[in-house]
Chains A and B, each alone.
Chain A
Amino acid sequence: MKPEKKIEPGEQLLSVENVTLRFGGVKAITDVSFDIRKGEVRAIIGPNGAGKTSMLNVINGFYHPQEGRITYRGETRAKMRPHVAATQGIARTFQNVALFKGMSTLDNIMVGRTLKMHKSFFWQLFRHGPAMDEEIEHRKFVEEIIDFLEIEHIRKVPVGKLPYGLQKRVELGRALAMEPELLLLDEPMAGMNLEEKEDMCRFILDTKEQYGTTIALIEHDMGVVMDLSDRVVVLEYGIKIADGTPEEVKSNQKVIDAYLGVAH
């Protein structure tokens, strides 16, 4: 049930205007504005506690900012619940992997398709007719994702038993199963070794190329950020201190002081 309106590559897909988010006395985000254009990889960087994750949580409706506006696909919203954001095409992964631990890789990714399943509970119970066709069709799509992410060998393994790097990959698969228009990735490469990081970079770029997905990415590895992203927004203590292409941001004195200067 995505809105029919088509947004061309390069046009504004999402804009965040003057958003302020408080937790009691703590200001996690202060008066931040930026936008995300259709088809780009937009990085959000900043030191620990800068408010990056909070920003994603605001975008997909987990947190509701006290001030400011979010405009997605030309529609401004004050408050939106996460499952509604998902319905509108916003998918995400989590900083601390939020998989369904008792379920297999295949089932985890299948849950990502739930939103696209429309046959009623009773049809599902009878396991015949339309519900069955629907299941088979979705299964096919999920198998494609599994091929794409090169995780055939762990299809049936309960994800709780997988190493961290693979879990991150399954979580990406689950988000891709939603066929999102905007994909939010919270530190998709944290805790990975070099090879795993390279794989993940490749998957992110391929996702952008093959599916035309717009991606917002939080990442600490500056090399990765510079390689992957079209534009970068930098937060520090909840305040936006820079915004631009990787080159612009890299040479920004405030950024150098706040982020690149300190050893990580």
Chain B
Amino acid sequence: MEAYLVAIAIVAAIYVLLALGLNLQYGLTGIINFGHVGFFCVGAYTAALLAEKGWPPLLSFSAAAALAMLAAWPMGLISLKLREDYFAIVSLGFSEVVRLVVTSEKWLTSGVQGITGIPKLFGGLATGLPNSLAVLAVLVAVNLLAIAAMRRIVTSPFGRTIEAIRDNEEAVKALGKDPAAFKIQVLMLGAALAGVAGAFYAHYIGYISPDQFIPLVTFQIWMAIIMGGVGRISGALAGTFILMLFLEGSRFLRDIMPFISEVEMASVRLGVVGLALVLFTLYRPTGLMGDFTRK
């Protein structure tokens, strides 16, 4: 039971990192990023491949963040100058291109077979609970650091400007700032968080393949921040919690109803999360923690 709870906590912590990044991008700045999983994927593959080459985690994790940022940069440059609805489509396309690349560049990524045998972090510790607990501790520390940074950003002049961009881009221009420059920075910061999340994910699961990085992942994170409350750090946390509840809860459902097959269950799970989203938009449109207008 402990092992199970720790396992869920680790996955949740990885999701929180992703949600914090998306919250910075959408919740605070208004960037409609439908390609978050792309940065997650870049981070995961970078960490996995560098681990194979024997890089120490500190370096490979930094590289994962850096490469994810690097991937965000040209995308931002090209498309943040477009209208935001165009950016939504471009970002979705971006994450699919990333997936296509890791699928087809077999020499590097082994294509659909994926990369196996990615070493656990803290290989020195006994496998099982002690190891997982150490990983969880590091993840929690990284999350706390990210949250602290996020709070600083929110209360800084930079944070004020990005929230202003979210509320009215034209007015920000008239006040003398170029929104595109800020949006590129924010996109890159969020991508870095997703990259780190990807690195943790690769090492924790131990096996990555392209089919783990489908747009569904992006939408689950969107659901989390919408359910939790857009534009609020507590919302990202609460939303991830609710998401995990639904994802894991539906697993129990399967134990009660063994006649449902694994494939059917996947659809049921999606359906349940979708239903939750609908209920939230109907009865609590500002999310569990309320949205940014209710500070």
Contacts and interface: CB of A to CB of B under 8 A. Distances in A.
Interface of A: 60, 62, 81-83, 86-87, 91-92, 94, 98-104, 107-108, 110-112, 114-115, 117, 121, 124-127, 131, 135, 158, 160, 174, 178
A115 B167 contact: no
A111 B160 contact: yes
Given A124-B157, A125-B153, A82 B174 contact: yes
B166 interface: yes
Contacts of A86: 173-177
A99 B168 contact: yes
B248 interface: no
Contacts of A160: 293
B190 interface: no
B171 interface: yes
B176 A117 contact: no
Contacts of A107: 160, 163
B149 interface: yes
B175 A112 contact: yes
Contacts of A121: 156, 158, 185
A235 to B, nearest CB: 22
B207 interface: no
A98 B171 contact: yes
Nearest to A126: B152
B83 interface: no
A84 to B, nearest CB: 8
Q: For the side of the interface on B, what is the size category?
A: 20 to 34
A111 B172 contact: yes
A174 B175 CA distance: 8
Given A83-B178, A111-B172, A158-B293, A102 B166 contact: yes
A102 B176 contact: no
B167 A114 contact: no
Contacts of B160: 103, 107, 110-111, 114
B292 interface: yes
23 contacts: A60-B174, A62-B170, A83-B175, A86-B173, A92-B174, A98-B168, A99-B171, A100-B168, A101-B167, A101-B168, A102-B295, A111-B164, A115-B175, A115-B176, A121-B156, A124-B156, A124-B157, A124-B158, A126-B152, A131-B156, A135-B157, A158-B293, A174-B175
A81 to B, nearest CB: 7
B152 A125 contact: yes
A100 B163 contact: yes
Interface of B: 149, 152-153, 155-158, 160-161, 163-164, 166-168, 170-178, 185, 231, 292-293, 295
A98 B170 contact: yes
B164 A100 contact: yes
Nearest to B149: A125
Contacts of A124: 152, 156-158
Given A117-B157, A124-B158, A127-B152, A91 B164 contact: no
B80 to A, nearest CB: 15
B174 A127 contact: no
Q: Which 10 A-B pairs have the closest CB atoms?
A: A86-B176, A115-B176, A100-B167, A124-B156, A98-B171, A82-B173, A102-B293, A111-B164, A100-B164, A125-B152
A72 B255 CA distance: 74
A81 B172 contact: no
Given A103-B163, A103-B167, A127-B156, A114 B177 contact: yes
A94 B172 CA distance: 12
A118 B136 CA distance: 39
Given A100-B168, A103-B164, A125-B149, A114 B175 contact: yes
A160 B292 CA distance: 12
A81 B173 contact: yes
Contacts of B172: 83, 111
A101 B163 CA distance: 10
B171 A94 contact: yes
A102 B28 CA distance: 10
Contacts of B178: 81, 83
A194 B166 CA distance: 34
A198 to B, nearest CB: 26
Most A-side CB within 10 Å, residue of B153, B158, B161: B158
B163 to A, nearest CB: 6
A121 B149 CA distance: 12
Nearest to A158: B293
Contacts of A82: 170, 173-174
A187 to B, nearest CB: 16
Given A82-B173, A114-B177, A102 B157 contact: no
